[in-house]
């Protein structure tokens, strides 16, 4: 069982999505390791595709940068062709696993109940889930952002109790992902406040104050400083800009 994640750490995680082979991923991790030789400015995690976890993990081993996966199956083993379980990820040295990414909610039909099962499975298997939530453009334009965030957070955290403190949330507005249209720091702040207030209500015990909330969606080394200046933003989940070592490193440095 991994130790509780420290109270609201600054965390920058790179979600490589379906990019980089095992060899290319190891090379990218080596570039980052070279850049971070003098120490990390914040907690950092790399989330390569399943096929690169072992090679990237080998580069990161013994260092401070964490390894994370992008998905897991809720069951720990069994007849689930093509799936990967939490114990398999933990055995590769993963500390984190992303659950509920919008590309899985909207592209692979994952509903709130599935995301909740995956978050619980991650905790059961000693992993820290990075729970992604966020509204679509249509939902934002229909003034449904708060409703969607409350529903998505509630589904995962209801009944989670003290385990909630071993999770991280990522607010990823769907309209900002891969579009170059980053949320303004004010938009991120408002959404993070909704998420924090919901965590307080559903978990109790001021959980919202203890759980880190990352922002994700078109984060670059150009806009990271302004986003991180917002007190509500505890870090970032970075897609495209995490595929290039220097730009990802500048984002990490901005989170110091
Ligand atoms: P981009 O940074 O490419 O917009 O992707 C964000 C994301 O989906 C991270 O999980």
* Residue 169 included in any domain: yes
Residues 185, 22: Cα–Cα separation, whole Å: 35
Question: What kind and span of H or E run contains 129?
Answer: strand 128-133
* Residue 2 included in any domain: no
Report CA(205)–ligand 1 centroid distance (Å).
31
* Residue 145 included in any domain: yes
Has this prediction a pTM greater than 0.95?
Answer: yes
Residues 146, 142: Cα–Cα separation, whole Å: 11
Structural domain tally of the chain?
1
First to last CA, the chain: 28
Question: Are 216 and 239 a contacting pair, CB within 8 Å?
Answer: yes
DSSP 130-146: EEEE---HHHHHTT-HH
Question: Are 202 and 154 a contacting pair, CB within 8 Å?
Answer: yes
* Residue 107 included in any domain: yes
**Is 85 marked as a binding-site residue?**
no
The pLDDT value recorded for residue 5 is 53
Best of 135, 216, 218, 251 for a ligand 1 pocket test (most atoms within 8 Å of beta carbon): 216
Question: What kind and span of H or E run contains 224?
Answer: helix 224-229
Q: Would you say the CB of residue 55 lies under 6 angstroms from ligand 1?
A: no
Q: Would you say the CB of residue 204 lies under 6 angstroms from ligand 1?
A: no
* Residue 127 included in any domain: yes
Residues 8, 255: Cα–Cα separation, whole Å: 13
Q: What is the CATH number of the domain that holds 78?
A: 3.20.20.70
Q: Encode pLDDT of 201-236 as tens digits.
A: 999 989 999 999 999 999 999 999 999 999 999 999
* Residue 200 included in any domain: yes
Structural domain range at position 207: 11-24+38-44+64-254
The pLDDT value recorded for residue 62 is 94
Q: Encode pLDDT of 103-120 as tens digits.
A: 999 999 999 999 999 999
Average pLDDT, the chain: 96
Q: What percentage of the chain reaches a pLDDT higher than 70?
A: 98
Q: Encode pLDDT of 149-174 as tens digits.
A: 999 999 999 989 899 999 999 999 99
The pLDDT value recorded for residue 4 is 55
CA distances from 111 to 107, 117, 144, 156, 206 (A): 11, 10, 17, 11, 27
* Residue 50 included in any domain: no
* Residue 202 included in any domain: yes
The pLDDT value recorded for residue 9 is 85
The pLDDT value recorded for residue 1 is 47
């Amino acid at each position: 069982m991994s130790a509780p994640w420290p109270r609201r750490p600054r965390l920058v995680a790179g979600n490589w999505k379906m990019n980089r082979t095992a060899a290319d991923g190891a090379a990218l991790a080596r570039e980052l390791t070279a850049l971070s030789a003098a120490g990390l400015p914040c907690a950092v995690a790399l989330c390569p595709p399943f096929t690169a976890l072992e090679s990237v993990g080998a580069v990161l081993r013994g260092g401070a940068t964490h390894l994370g996966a992008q998905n897991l199956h809720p069951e720990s083993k069994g007849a689930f062709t093509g799936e990967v379980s939490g114990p398999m990820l933990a055995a590769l040295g993963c500390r984190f696993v992303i659950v509920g990414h919008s590309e899985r909610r909207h592209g692979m039909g994952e509903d709130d109940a599935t995301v909740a099962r995956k978050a619980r499975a991650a905790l059961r298997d000693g992993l820290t889930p990075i729970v992604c939530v966020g509204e679509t453009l249509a939902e934002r334009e229909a003034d449904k952002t708060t409703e969607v965030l409350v529903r998505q957070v509630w589904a995962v955290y209801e009944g989670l109790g003290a385990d909630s403190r071993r999770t991280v949330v990522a607010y990823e507005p769907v309209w900002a992902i891969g579009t170059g249209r980053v949320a303004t720091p004010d938009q991120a702040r408002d959404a993070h406040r909704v998420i924090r207030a919901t965590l307080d209500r559903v978990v109790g015990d001021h959980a919202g104050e203890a759980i880190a909330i990352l922002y994700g969606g078109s984060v670059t080394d150009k806009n990271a400083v302004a986003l991180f200046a917002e007190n509500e933003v505890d870090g970032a989940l970075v897609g495209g800009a995490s595929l290039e070592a220097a730009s990802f490193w500048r984002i990490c440095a901005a989170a110091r």
